[in-house]
Amino acid sequence: MKRDKKGKGAAQNGGLLAAVPQRSFGDRLLKDFKGNWSLYLMVLIPVTYLIIFCYIPMTGIQLAFKEYRVSDGIWGSPWVGLYNFKRFFKSYKFVMLLKNTILINVYSLVVGFPIPIIFALMLNYLRMKKFKKTIQMLSYAPYFISTVVMSGMIIIFLDPNTGVINKVLELLGFEAMNFMGEAKYFKSIYVWSSVWQGMGWASIIYIAALSGVDYQLHEAAIVDGASKLQRIFHVDLPSIKPTIIMLLILQIGSLMSVGFEKVFLLQNQLNMSSSDVLSTYVYRVGLVDNDYGYSTAVGLFNSLINMFLLISANMIAKRTTNESLW
């Protein structure tokens, strides 16, 4: 849709250009500048910001191929070729980091993606208006809890001695468990708590899409004798398919970028073997151990995989369903 608009704009410009071919690009720019100088001035501020805080760091990626020396700075430090990458690939942590990053993300995707859709569909068929409003409002609330408070709540609730979850387990006759102290529980805790926090918010978009479904389609289905479940599968889901695919591509694109903060906060010595991911490793070797070149190399490796995933997800979606981000 965006593309179309741009295309049209370009075509119009082309038409205008054809009518006045004698003007050079420089002339037109100068004229535009004279008419719109205040706009240029205005845009200069955010553009300066983008250059300093987004584009200059991009030039810093060369650190991945260098050995950083404080006295020489980024540009003056000596090149070391692929040394940092080789070190990372040979490190005993490489397989573990990659495995944890992928597993946590795939788990999040498989659980976290369909649940908001199901939630939105169920809300859509809920007849009690007041109850519907209440549960909707309640389900958005956890989204505004900060990551620190969320992680804190998880740790306090799951405490082996005083945590309320363990108290309830004991009441029901089970034994208390040290959830945060055992590596095998980490991924489930991470994923399901994120579902609790994000499912209401993520469902908003689907609720909006569902409210846009043409009611005549539902009426036709009812006349044909379709049950509610059949209407979900044959009317609702096909109607919101474009929204679902768009969000799926976006999710796959960010598959490798686990939220750093929550993993970092929930990490401890006991669950490290299943909670250490690429982003926390980048932070640790970079800002704790001050191994700048190596950290940048690991970070670059991570974002290259991200780019690859996003581009392939987009391509697959384009081929199979004709929907795509760009």
Partner 1 sequence: MEKNIEKRAANKAHKKLISADKTFDVANVVIMILLFFIFAWPLWFVVIASFSDPGEVWRGNVILFPKGFSIDSYTEILKYKEIWIGYRNTIFYTVVGTVINLFMTVCMAYPLSRKKFMPKNILMVLCMITMYFGGGLIPSYLVVKNLHMIDTVWAMMIPGCLSVYNMIIMRSYFVNSIPDSLEEAATLDGAGPVQYLVKVVLPLSKPVIAVIALYYMVGHWNDFFSALIYVNDKNLLPLQTFLRNLLVTNTVGNVSQTQNLNPELLQKKIYLAQTIKYSAIIVSTLPVLCIYPFVQKYFVKGVMIGAIKG
Residues numbered 251 to 270 that lie near partner 1 (CB under 8 A) are 253, 260-261, 265
196 closest CA partner among 122, 119, 255: 119
- The distance of closest approach from Cβ of residue 110 to partner 1 in the complex, given in angstroms and rounded to an integer, is 20
| Contact flags string 205-244 toward partner 1, x per CB under 8 A | x--x----------------x-xxx-------------x-
Binding positions for partner 1, 9-28, rule CB under 8 A: 28
Q: Does 131 bind partner 1 (CB under 8 A)?
A: yes
d(CA 222, CA 24): 64
Q: Does 196 bind partner 1 (CB under 8 A)?
A: yes
What H or E segment, with its residue span, contains residue 30?
helix 25-50
Which CB, 49 or 174, lies closer to partner 1? 49
Contact indicator for 305, 257 with CB cutoff of 8 Å: no
Q: Does 39 bind partner 1 (CB under 8 A)?
A: yes
d(CA 61, CA 41): 30
- The distance of closest approach from Cβ of residue 46 to partner 1 in the complex, given in angstroms and rounded to an integer, is 4
**Which residue from 17, 110, 137, 315 is in contact with partner 1, where contact means CB under 8 A?**
137
Q: Does 91 bind partner 1 (CB under 8 A)?
A: no
Which CB, 50 or 106, lies closer to partner 1? 50
d(CA 270, CA 149): 21
Residue whose tokens read 């939630």 = 119
Sign of the CA dihedral running 270, 271, 273, 276: negative
Interface segment toward partner 1; rule CB under 8 A; list 80-88, 92-100, 233-241, 302-310: 302-310
Contact indicator for 256, 302 with CB cutoff of 8 Å: yes
**Which residue from 200, 251, 258, 271 is in contact with partner 1, where contact means CB under 8 A?**
200
Which CB, 100 or 295, lies closer to partner 1? 295
Q: Does 272 bind partner 1 (CB under 8 A)?
A: no
- The distance of closest approach from Cβ of residue 274 to partner 1 in the complex, given in angstroms and rounded to an integer, is 18
Q: Is 274 exposed, middle or buried (0-12, 13-18, 19+ CB in 10 A)?
A: buried
Q: Which residues contact 161 (CB under 8 A, 6 or more apart)?
A: 176
**Which residue from 303, 312, 315, 321 is in contact with partner 1, where contact means CB under 8 A?**
303
297: number of Cβ within 10 Å:
27
**Which residue from 112, 116, 198, 299 is in contact with partner 1, where contact means CB under 8 A?**
299
